[in-house]
Structure 1
Amino acid sequence: MNLEMQQFKAEFFKALAHPLRIRILELLAEGDKSVNEIQSLVGSEGSAVSQQLTVLRTKNIVTGTKEGTRVIYSLRDPMIIELLKVAKQIFNNHLVDTITILDKMKDSNAE
């Protein structure tokens, strides 16, 4: 794989590396939303949401479309939804592995 692709991937994942940005993407996976809607749903102050949207916009992960005085945000690429699903599955796989290890430890301590 070429260096440019590796750099792109590193920068892309860096842009996703914040819990509020992930939450915003999960909300946008459900449909386009205004800043006010996002703020209300995440229960966070406006400046925090705006900062995270700026990062996502700068990295071309979300787009903003002006509608009157509002800006409506949407996912730039619907494959983000699949990426979030895959990340959740990886988390679940790790969780299952951890539970299995803990069960084995519990069984060996009971003996």
Structure 2
Amino acid sequence: MDRSVQQFKAEFFKALAHPMRIRILEVLSQKEQNVNELQTILGSEGSAVSQQLAVLRAKNLVNSVKEGTTVVYSLRDPLISDLLVVARQIFDNHLVESITLLEDMRKQN
């Protein structure tokens, strides 16, 4: 595999390596939002949301458009939404495996 693709993937996944950034992307998967709306939805301070949005912007994961005095954010690529769905499915698969393992262990005791 080409090193530039590997480097892109590494940087891309680094950008996803924070729970609030993932939550922001999940929210933006539903519809575009401004910082105040994101702050309300996430129940977090505006400065924390703005800081995470700056990382997402720097990594080109979100677009920002100024509308008057408000900046509205959206996903740069709709496939990010699909990636988050697949990540959830992987989580669910691991959870099912863990539950099955626990049930098997209880049966043995």
Partner of 2:59 in structure 1?
A: 59
Q: What TM-score do the two structures reach when normalised by structure 2?
A: 0.99
Amino acid at match of 1:43: G
Cα shift at 1:27: 0.6
Cα shift at 1:79: 0.2
- Superposed, 1:3-42 pairs within 5 Å as 3-42=3-42
Question: After TM superposition, which residue ranges in structure 1, 4 or more long, deviate above 6 angstroms?
Answer: none
Cα shift at 1:87: 0.2
- Deviation string, structure 1 residues 16-65 (Cα, Å, up to 9, x no partner): 01000011001100100011100011010011000000000000000100
Considering only CA atoms, is the larger Rg found in Structure 1 or Structure 2? 1
Partner of 1:79 in structure 2?
A: 79
Amino acid at match of 1:68: G
Q: What TM-score do the two structures reach when normalised by structure 1?
A: 0.97
Q: Distance in 1 between matches of 2:101 and 2:13?
A: 29
Identity %: 65
Q: Distance in 1 between matches of 2:6 and 2:50?
A: 28
Unmatched 5+ residue regions in structure 2? none
Q: Does the residue aligned with 1:17 lie in a helix, a strand or coil? A: coil
